[in-house]
Amino acid sequence: MSVAPENYIALSAVLFFIGVVGVISRRNPLIMLMAVELLFNSANLALVAYARAWANNAGHIFAFLVITVAAAEAAIALAIVAVTFRRTPFVDVDEVSALKG
Amino acid sequence: MIAFWILALLMIASAVFTVTAKKPVYSVVGLLANFVCLAALYLELQAEFLAVIQIVVYSGAILILFVFVIALLSSGVRPFDVGPNRAPHILYPAIVIAVLALAGMTVSALRTPVAVVQLPVGQTGDANAFGSVGNFGTALFTTNLLPFEVTAFILMVAVIGVVLIAGDEDPTTGVVRRRKRPGAREPIVKSEPTIR
């Protein structure tokens, strides 16, 4: 590998940071979900970089598991968004407070 | 070497665009660019199968799902747009703390060298080279069979859950749940042309 693995890990950290900022600061549920996808992808990048550095493909298996979980999460979360939006049209996750105690 | 830095810059730029875009559709485009660059990075890390999966599953399936939901939701009353930031008064201290934490993380990641195991030279493209489909499949179906079955179970649970949550009918009672959205546009009915 021509690039040292530390660089991949640093890139993964930067992407994770951008994703966290997106989840925290945006109010649109769809963009929050996309920021969550960014988080999954930065974790995957770190897994694959370490898998290559140690020539051990357990990291690939784990990244595969993460991709599957991300697909399931996106499907269920988007279904929840669609159902909630059908009930009351909202653009702000703070408006949805039906489960508030 | 230079490919890594170009891809890294593209990934950071597209991630920032995804998070800051005004409309969700723009975010989807930024995310698409991010995923394609990530697939290229996977290729550089010799994870061929994961690169293909990244394109097929992420760019192909998940993003299309996002686009469908955006199209579904924004066909209604008001544009599915973004409000102001959630907590403006804590924004600047939060940015300072976050940038410091990020700098610490990045510097410590760069300062910690990882010992790289060298792969045999000239093995790339071989059927059983590291990260190839054969290598990945062998590992998936022999040593890691249980995680593979768990993924199948997760997908099945997700499919059942989506149908339960978003289906038109309540599956336990058979009652149709769909009701008119308040404020939704009336369907346009074409009136008969009047003959004068």
Q: What is the pLDDT of residues B101-141, one digit of tens each?
A: 888 888 888 887 777 877 765 555 666 778 788 888 999 99
Residue B1 has pLDDT above 60, yes or no: yes
Cβ-Cβ contacts under 8 Å, B24 against chain A: 28, 30-31, 34
What is the pLDDT at residue B23? Answer: 82
Residue B193 has pLDDT above 70, yes or no: no
- Average pLDDT of chain A? 87
- Whether residue A20 lies within 8 A of chain B, CB to CB, comes out as yes
Cβ-Cβ contacts under 8 Å, B159 against chain A: 75
What is the pLDDT at residue B128? Answer: 72
How far apart are the C-alpha atoms of A100 and B66, rounded to whole Å? 27
Residue B196 has pLDDT above 70, yes or no: no
pTM, entire model? 0.83
Residue pair B69/A73 in contact (Cβ under 8 Å)? The answer is no
- Whether residue A85 lies within 8 A of chain B, CB to CB, comes out as yes
Cβ-Cβ contacts under 8 Å, B136 against chain A: 57, 60-61, 64
Q: Residues A1-9: what's their mean pLDDT? A: 84
Choose among A7, A53, A78: nearest Cβ to B65. Answer: A78
Q: Which residue of A has its CA nearest to B21?
A: A31
**How do residues A86-99 score in pLDDT, each as one tens digit?**
777 766 777 777 77
Give whole-number Cα distances, B48 to A49, A98, B36, B52, B130, in Å. Answer: 13, 45, 13, 6, 9
Residue B194 has pLDDT above 70, yes or no: no
What is the pLDDT at residue B78? Answer: 53
- Whether residue A52 lies within 8 A of chain B, CB to CB, comes out as yes
- Give the CATH number for residue A13: 1.10.287.3510
| Residue A45 structural domain | 5-99
**Higher-confidence residue: B100 or B170?**
B100
Cβ-Cβ contacts under 8 Å, B59 against chain A: none
**How do residues A20-39 score in pLDDT, each as one tens digit?**
888 888 778 888 899 999 99
**How do residues B30-87 score in pLDDT, each as one tens digit?**
999 999 999 999 998 888 899 999 999 998 899 999 999 888 877 654 544 545 555 5
Q: Residues A57-75: what's their mean pLDDT? A: 93
Would you call B158 and A72 a contact, using CB atoms and an 8 Å cutoff?
Answer: yes
Q: How many domains does chain A have?
A: 1
Categorize the per-residue pLDDT at B18 as very low, low, confident or very high, splitting at 50, 70 and 90.
very high
Residue B174: φ, ψ to 5°: 80, 10
